[in-house]
């Protein structure tokens, strides 16, 4: 079979086919159409030469189709859409799907740069995944917060505190008005802060904060580890009365995440997904895998909450378009996307929506702008923006909660700060970005 047989710009994909969108820059001397054909071949039934074992029946049934090639943002670049027969994939097996459409193709000599921009999963594949157990509505119900953005913090410093110190910081944050407190991505079970002891002490102070504030509080403990150990840690959190666990979804891998989502059927806990390591895949606009793609895969597998950044409001790399892309379905995926319905909130054949987590360099003064850009269905997480306060974490948390309340009510932060000391102190320290 000639490799150019994979390119058919008159082809119309069926409702059941998986569509992958790629940005590509062919290697020197390779035509764009040829590079697209080679990607389609390598990601499915093809190899580098003609083979005697390729029957016309296999080729006809399983050959993918490059049905769209459009100009990219470079002189020789392009954006290609490839339609794949669903029988090429083991439905419900995310590692296998990505081994196909995001596997060997990244090592091909025919492409200088390649980025998987998006995957459009057909209903017959979607239905084989469990999706979130709770999603937006379920998390809001657990926390008894109907409409306003949820607010939280990450215990800082990331590592270094012992178990008692960690639990006390969490308690002070809850007492200041925050809904959730989480471990950071690199805190697991350290020589100076053992997992089991930290969980028991922190959840004990969570209970105390709930009684004293009359509000529901949540602790997101990081279970990231080898798979059997993750199960044990999740069991222990449940035993201590916890309702959440957190996973670094990329470093544990898609199979680790799927295992924990399946295991959660017996635990009924909320899964908070941290995207640590994503920048290695997403940051280069010309090569890798987009955060949109990672977010869709995580949602199908079944995380309830997912970090997507702060739309350039905070410290992490990323533009509003790049990160809002995750919240919006792209009609014609390019580097200046057209926003449509919410990707993480839209109806997905019984797959519940995911709660967006905004985190990375936030402070109280950014709150109004953040909510204007990202909406109210978010968890706004402030790390240093809470713990900076010279009188302690509680007062930094109070300033954040005041900012959340003001932004929810549509009151300018500067106006609200006139009668709310902690918000005023935060604004005096950090300002209010325009």
Pairing outcome for strands 288-289 and 111-120:
parallel
DSSP state of 269: -
User: Residue 200 in contact with residue 208, Cβ under 8 Å?
Assistant: no
- Active-site annotation holder among 120, 130, 156, 197: 156
Is there a catalytic annotation at residue 65?
no
- Active-site annotation holder among 65, 182, 217, 274: 274
Other Cβ atoms less than 10 A from the Cβ of 196: the count is 15
Cα(410)–Cα(276) distance, rounded to whole angstroms? 33
Listing DSSP states for 287-341 in one string gives SEE-HHHHHHHHHHHT-SEEE---TTSSSSS--HHHHHHHHEEESS-SSSPPEEE
Of residues 110, 113, 99, the one with CA closest to residue 33: 110
Of residues 190, 195, 188, 198, the one with CA closest to residue 168: 198
User: Residue 291 in contact with residue 275, Cβ under 8 Å?
Assistant: yes
Strands of 78-84's sheet in order across: 65-71, 78-84, 18-26, 111-120, 288-289
- Exposed, middle or buried, 386 (CB in 10 Å: 0-12/13-18/19+)? buried
Is there a catalytic annotation at residue 274?
yes
Q: Give me the active site residues, please.
A: 156, 274
């Amino acid at each position: 079979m000639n490799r150019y047989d994979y390119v058919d710009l008159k082809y119309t994909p069926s409702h059941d086919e998986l569509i992958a969108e790629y940005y590509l820059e062919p290697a020197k001397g390779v035509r764009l159409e040829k590079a697209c054909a080679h990607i389609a071949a390598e990601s499915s039934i093809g190899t580098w030469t003609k083979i005697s074992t390729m029957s016309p029946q296999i080729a006809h049934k399983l050959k993918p189709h490059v049905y769209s090639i459009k100009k990219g943002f470079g002189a020789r670049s392009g954006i290609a859409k490839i339609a794949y027969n669903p029988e090429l994939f083991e439905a419900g097996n995310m590692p296998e799907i990505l081994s196909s459409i995001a596997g060997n193709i990244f090592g091909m000599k025919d492409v200088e740069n390649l980025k998987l921009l998006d995957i459009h999963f057909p209903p017959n594949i979607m239905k084989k995944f469990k999706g979130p157990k709770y999603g937006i509505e379920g998390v809001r119900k657990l926390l008894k917060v109907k409409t306003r953005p949820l607010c939280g913090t990450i215990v800082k410093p990331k590592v270094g505190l012992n178990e008692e110190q960690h639990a006390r910081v969490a308690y002070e944050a809850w007492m200041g008005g925050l809904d959730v407190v989480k471990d950071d991505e690199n805190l697991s079970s350290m020589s100076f802060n053992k997992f089991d002891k930290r969980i028991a002490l922190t959840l004990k102070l969570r209970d105390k904060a709930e009684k004293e504030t009359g509000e529901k509080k949540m602790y997101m403990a990081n279970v990231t580890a080898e798979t059997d150990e993750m199960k044990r840690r999740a069991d222990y959190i449940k035993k201590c009365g916890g309702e959440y666990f957190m996973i670094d979804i990329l470093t544990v891998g898609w199979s680790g995440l799927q295992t924990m989502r399946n295991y959660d059927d017996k635990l009924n806990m909320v899964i908070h997904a941290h995207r640590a390591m994503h920048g290695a895949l997403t940051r280069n606009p010309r090569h890798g895998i987009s955060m949109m793609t990672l977010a869709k895969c995580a949602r199908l597998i079944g995380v309830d909450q997912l970090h997507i950044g702060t739309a350039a409001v905070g410290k992490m790399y990323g533009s509003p378009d790049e990160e809002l892309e995750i919240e919006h379905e792209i009609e014609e995926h390019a580097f200046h996307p057209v926003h449509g319905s919410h990707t993480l909130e839209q109806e997905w054949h019984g797959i519940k929506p995911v709660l967006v987590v905004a985190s990375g360099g936030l402070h109280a003064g950014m709150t109004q702008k953040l909510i204007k850009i990202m909406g109210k269905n978010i968890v706004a997480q402030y790390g240093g923006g809470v713990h900076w306060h010279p009188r302690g974490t509680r007062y930094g948390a109070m300033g954040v909660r005041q900012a959340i309340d003001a932004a929810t009510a549509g009151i300018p932060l500067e106006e609200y700060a006139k009668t709310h000391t902690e918000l005023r102190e935060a604004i005096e320290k950090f300002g209010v970005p325009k």
